Amino acid sequence: MKIILILFMALFLFAEDLKITSKYFHYDPQKQESVFKKDVNATKGSDNILADKLIVYFDKKRKPEKFIATGNVRFVISLDKNATYKGRCDKLVYTLYNGNIILLGNAKIVKLQTKESVKGNKIILNRITKEAEVMGNKKPIEIILKVNE
């Protein structure tokens, strides 16, 4: 039976509910973390993250401060109404206090509005500043831009 956990919190920049479903859930008050495993689906507004495992870290006031998704990570994330990205990676780390979304390992994102894409070993997006940074490793990064001639 799936475990459904609904957390009421302000996560990204607006107050919306975060809904996380999975087949396994464990909360550890000593570590201040919640672990979700197997068929994890986290949804907040139009944002969605699917993964094999999701760990939610809390601060001392029991408010979420960091999310780490691992294993077959797929996502749709909106930075604003003109920038929605769909992608995949091996690991996604989202830190709320600075707005950084770090995609690690076989990372690829596609901007849905333009179909432009970026591939790299590490991609950093920032929800607040809208900045992006891409790094490769043995393979170079790949960026596909739409050019109007």
Query: pLDDT tens digits, residue range 6-54?
Result: 222 233 334 578 899 999 999 988 899 999 999 999 998 889 999 999 9
Give yes or no for a contact between 90 and 106, defined as CB atoms under 8 angstroms apart: yes
Q: Give me the residue spans of the domains in the chain.
A: 3-144
Give yes or no for a contact between 87 and 114, defined as CB atoms under 8 angstroms apart: no
Distance CA 2, CA 31 (A): 24
Fold of the domain built from segment(s) 3-144: lipopolysaccharide transport protein A fold (2.60.450)
Closest CA to 54 of 20, 79, 78: 20
pTM of whole model > 0.75? yes
Residues 6+ apart with CB under 8 A from 110: 85, 86, 87, 116, 117
For position 15, what pLDDT does the model report? 53
Residue 116 has pLDDT above 70, yes or no: yes
Distance CA 92, CA 82 (A): 22
